Amino acid sequence: MPLSLGSSAVVALFGLVGVMVWRLREGRRPVTLKTIVMPPLGMSTGFCMFLVHRFRVHWTWAFEAFLVGACMLSVPLIRTSRLILENGIVMMRRSKIFFGVVLFLAAIRYFARDYIGKIISVEQTAGLFFILAFGMILVWRASMYFEYRQLFSEDSFFSQY
């Protein structure tokens, strides 16, 4: 039974609330390489959806969706989150507008999905937006990884003196 845009919007809303709660809890815990790398690795299992023919899209659409996520939508996340070193522990510090940015990105995705869903199937729309989100998360987490490595290279540099 195919999903309707209405039911997928409800699922997306629950997903958004889940992400917001997770981000709040995550901000109170130390950041490790594992917590940086695991979300994109775990999310990558979602590519199995493309084994089902209904989810498949043309590779140029997939590439464009990835680029939009990686080059445009990841930038606000990168700019509103910073890693800091406190007593040898890395913590995430978000700006006060971080959650506003997350809500804004979710709204963009929701309204774009509504428009695109009128052109292609709900399953293909879900596939494209999964790729878009993966590009966004992958670049954001890569940025966090390099920031994490830089914190420890600066710390070890200064601890020599």
Rounded-to-integer distance, Cα 90 and Cα 88, Å: 7
Q: 93 Cβ partners below 8 Å, 6+ apart?
A: 81, 82, 83, 84
Most confident of the following: 31-35, 94-98, 105-109, 112-116: 31-35
Cβ count within 10 A of residue 127: 24
Report which of residues 142 and 103 the model is more confident about: 142
Instruction: State how far the Cα of 63 lies from the Cα of 70, in Å rounded to an integer.
Output: 10
Residue with the larger pLDDT of the pair 43 and 157:
43
Give the pLDDT confidence score for residue 57 in this predicted structure: 93
Between 121 and 14, the more confident residue is 121
Range of the domain at 18: 5-159
User: What is the model's pLDDT at position 2?
Assistant: 53
Q: What is the DSSP letter of 51?
A: G
Q: Where are the alpha helices (DSSP H) in the chain?
A: 5-26, 33-43, 59-67, 74-79, 98-116, 122-159
Question: Taking 60 as the threshold, does the pLDDT of residue 1 lie above it?
Answer: no
CB 81 within 8 A of CB 95: yes
Position with higher pLDDT, 111 vs 5: 111
How many domains are contained in the chain?
1
pLDDT, tens digit, for every residue of 52-110? 999 999 999 999 999 999 999 899 889 988 999 888 889 888 777 877 877 887 788 77
CA–chain centroid gap for 152, Å, is: 24
- Cβ atoms 73, 108 nearer than 8 A: yes
